[in-house]
Chains A and B, each alone.
Chain A
Amino acid sequence: MTVVRLDLRHLISGDRQANRVVPPSGVTAHLTIFAAAAMAFLAVFAMAMSLAAGRLAARWGDELAQSSTIRVVAPADQIAAQTQAALGILETTAGVAFARALDEAEQRALLAPWFGAELDLQALPVPQLIEMIEEDEGFDAAGLRLRLAAEVPGAFLDDHSRWRAPLVEAAGRLRLLGWISALLLGASVAAIVTLAARAALAANAQVISVLRLVGATDRYIAQAFIRRFSLRAFGGATIGVLCAMIAVAILPGASEAAGLLTGLSFQGWHWVLPLFIPPLCALVAFLATGVAARRTLGKLT
């Protein structure tokens, strides 16, 4: 740990000479920077997806858990009476905090996306909807169904849980997938940097043997490579993250019309999270190059 801390300090302060002993390399450098940028770009989207999926799961969980709907389907002349009867039952049902029948305007708004705004509800046998909010401890759905069936034959209880549960689960899985993707991207950065560092170490075998001959320690030699690759990973990741954040920022925002989609964009303090990717990328490169360098140098005299 001490070694890592010392190396980190050196890394940041920098040693111009140590940096110069390794000849500059054109193509490898650009490829490493490009790979880091691409990985960081993708990581930002994986992160955005995870956070959006998390919000979605939380919203569906919270909002829908407490509400249920009762549909009253009856001939037009009985519908008002049956609605009153159902409301009467709900008032006496333990665990129901609040119940009210939707008025005509609300029902029309619900149907508007399918039938258009000019719909005359009177002309259609539309069921009356009753919205109910349950108390925290919930109510006995099976009991309520039996009572409704006995007293208001046209009323059906829909407690949302049937379609809500798989959606919440799917959102949770989506979030998990997002984080796994982010982890895999980090591992890919490590793999790419390791390969590039090994190639660089192999290509500079003569440089390393000269340095050993004149008394350079392994740490001095490794430093030159570690610093180079860490800075490349950091630079590349910074470019990738900035591009991705701009791309996320200009995504169409969440709106009422989008309904279930909350939008992929970051919200509030979540905008800070992608900024952790470049330092993390540099750390991964630092460790990967360190391991590769120590392994290669250990084999030399």
Chain B
Amino acid sequence: MIELKNVAYSYGGGALLSDISLTLAAGSFYFLTGPSGAGKTTLLKLCYGALQPTAGDVLLFGEDVAGLARDGIAALRRRVGVVHQDCQFLDHLSVAENIALPLDVSGRASAAADGDLNELMAWVGLTQRAEALPPELSGGERQRAALARAVIMSPDVVLADEPTGNVDWEMSQRLLRLLVELNRMGKTVLIATHDLSLIRAAKTQVQARVLRISNRQVQLAGADL
């Protein structure tokens, strides 16, 4: 799915990540953890082509990201769902339109897709809020809307950067359950988080692997935390 070969990334002078080799297997569930500023977000951005590695190769679905033109990256984003901690929307469009946005920009909007949209809205529990504008949503609702938008194209991979950072424990459990369900449907899930209790909670539901960033390297943490 996603393969990093000897990847390094440096901002300005300092190296943030160096010599990282990593393969995300299809259908698996990963956590990416590490202290703040260790490079979790940077690693995720490398995984969806928002950043180019300063050394090494990133292969997405077997294709080298460095060789992709801007339209190639756009096409790739349709196969990778991304959820940010502070997710952004088009504030002048309704929640439903925002969730359907990936369909519209890829020209796949249709009546059948509308059915999927309603189902997806029900799944994340936002049916009642379909016509609301994004600024009117609570933190938890925003995260669920972002998750719905990330998966409406039925991507193979879902990347989530601190998806539970702005919500309370109960809501983070709810988001986690949605992500676990996605994984059971066969999607590869990678969640960056520094919340160890979230990881523990997940381990009771799914076989999750934990990647830890320390000293500019990524290590596969043991089964125990």
User: Are B91 and A23 in touch, CB under 8 angstroms?
Assistant: yes
Residues of B within 8 A of A42 (CB): none
User: Are A218 and B101 in touch, CB under 8 angstroms?
Assistant: no
Take A17-B104, A301-B51 as given contacts and tell me if A206 and B88 are in contact as well, using a CB distance cutoff of 8 Å.
Answer: yes
Asked if A220 lies at the interface with its beta carbon under 8 angstroms from chain B, I say yes
For B106, give the chain A residue with the smallest CB separation. Answer: A215
User: Are B82 and A207 in touch, CB under 8 angstroms?
Assistant: no
User: Are A215 and B105 in touch, CB under 8 angstroms?
Assistant: yes
User: Are A207 and B90 in touch, CB under 8 angstroms?
Assistant: yes
* Count of CB-CB pairs between chains A and B under 8 Å: 61
User: Are A217 and B104 in touch, CB under 8 angstroms?
Assistant: no
Q: Considering the chains assembled together, what is the distance between the CA atoms of A21 and B89 in angstroms?
A: 11
Q: Considering the chains assembled together, what is the distance between the CA atoms of A18 and B90 in angstroms?
A: 12
Asked if A124 lies at the interface with its beta carbon under 8 angstroms from chain B, I say no
Residues of A within 8 A of B50 (CB): 301
Q: Considering the chains assembled together, what is the distance between the CA atoms of A207 and B105 in angstroms?
A: 13
Q: Considering the chains assembled together, what is the distance between the CA atoms of A21 and B106 in angstroms?
A: 13
Asked if A166 lies at the interface with its beta carbon under 8 angstroms from chain B, I say no
Q: Tell which of A23, A213, A298 touches B92, judged by Cβ atoms closer than 8 Å.
A: A23
Q: Considering the chains assembled together, what is the distance between the CA atoms of A217 and B68 in angstroms?
A: 13
Residues in A198-217 with C-beta less than 8 Å from chain B: 206-207, 209-217
Q: Considering the chains assembled together, what is the distance between the CA atoms of A213 and B89 in angstroms?
A: 10
Residues in A59-83 with C-beta less than 8 Å from chain B: none
Q: Tell which of B17-25, B34-42, B56-64, B71-79 binds the partner.
A: B71-79
Residues of B within 8 A of A23 (CB): 90-92
Take A212-B77, A301-B51 as given contacts and tell me if A220 and B92 are in contact as well, using a CB distance cutoff of 8 Å.
Answer: no
Residues of B within 8 A of A219 (CB): 71
Residues of A within 8 A of B91 (CB): 23
Give chain A nearest CB distance to B21 CB in angstroms: 24
Residues of B within 8 A of A215 (CB): 74-78, 102, 105-106, 153
Residues in A38-75 with C-beta less than 8 Å from chain B: none
In the A-B complex, the 9 residue pairs with the smallest Cβ-Cβ separation, listed nearest first, are A215-B77, A216-B105, A215-B78, A23-B92, A214-B102, A217-B74, A17-B104, A301-B50, A217-B71
Q: Considering the chains assembled together, what is the distance between the CA atoms of A215 and B91 in angstroms?
A: 18
Q: Considering the chains assembled together, what is the distance between the CA atoms of A216 and B75 in angstroms?
A: 8
Residues of A within 8 A of B104 (CB): 17-18, 21
Asked if B212 lies at the interface with its beta carbon under 8 angstroms from chain A, I say no
Residues of B within 8 A of A17 (CB): 104, 109
Q: Report, as a range, how many residues of chain B touch the other chain.
A: 20 to 34
Residues in B92-136 with C-beta less than 8 Å from chain A: 92-93, 101-102, 104-106, 109
Take A206-B88, A213-B82, A301-B51 as given contacts and tell me if A21 and B74 are in contact as well, using a CB distance cutoff of 8 Å.
Answer: no
User: Are A24 and B92 in touch, CB under 8 angstroms?
Assistant: yes
Give chain B nearest CB distance to A151 CB in angstroms: 89
Q: Give 5 A-B pairs besides A210-B89, A210-B90 with Cβ atoms closer than 8 angstroms.
A: A21-B104, A207-B90, A211-B90, A217-B71, A217-B74
User: Are B88 and A216 in touch, CB under 8 angstroms?
Assistant: no
User: Are B74 and A212 in touch, CB under 8 angstroms?
Assistant: yes
Residues of B within 8 A of A214 (CB): 77-78, 101-102, 105, 149
Asked if A162 lies at the interface with its beta carbon under 8 angstroms from chain B, I say no
User: Are B82 and A218 in touch, CB under 8 angstroms?
Assistant: no
For A24, give the chain B residue with the smallest CB separation. Answer: B92
Asked if A5 lies at the interface with its beta carbon under 8 angstroms from chain B, I say no
For A298, give the chain B residue with the smallest CB separation. Answer: B70
Residues of B within 8 A of A216 (CB): 74, 105-106
For B45, give the chain A residue with the smallest CB separation. Answer: A301
Q: Tell which of A18, A207, A213, A217 touches B70, judged by Cβ atoms closer than 8 Å.
A: A217
Give chain A nearest CB distance to B146 CB in angstroms: 10
Return 29 A-B CB contacts under 8 Å, by A number. Answer: A17-B104, A18-B104, A20-B93, A21-B93, A21-B101, A21-B104, A21-B105, A23-B90, A23-B92, A206-B88, A210-B90, A211-B90, A211-B101, A211-B105, A213-B88, A214-B78, A214-B105, A214-B149, A215-B74, A215-B76, A215-B78, A215-B102, A215-B153, A216-B105, A216-B106, A217-B74, A217-B105, A220-B105, A301-B50
Residues of B within 8 A of A206 (CB): 88
Residues of A within 8 A of B101 (CB): 21, 210-211, 214
For B99, give the chain A residue with the smallest CB separation. Answer: A214
Residues of A within 8 A of B105 (CB): 21, 211, 214-217, 220
Give chain A nearest CB distance to B110 CB in angstroms: 12
User: Are B71 and A21 in touch, CB under 8 angstroms?
Assistant: no
Residue from B70, B91, B106 with most neighbouring chain A CB atoms (10 Å): B70
Residues of A within 8 A of B102 (CB): 214-215
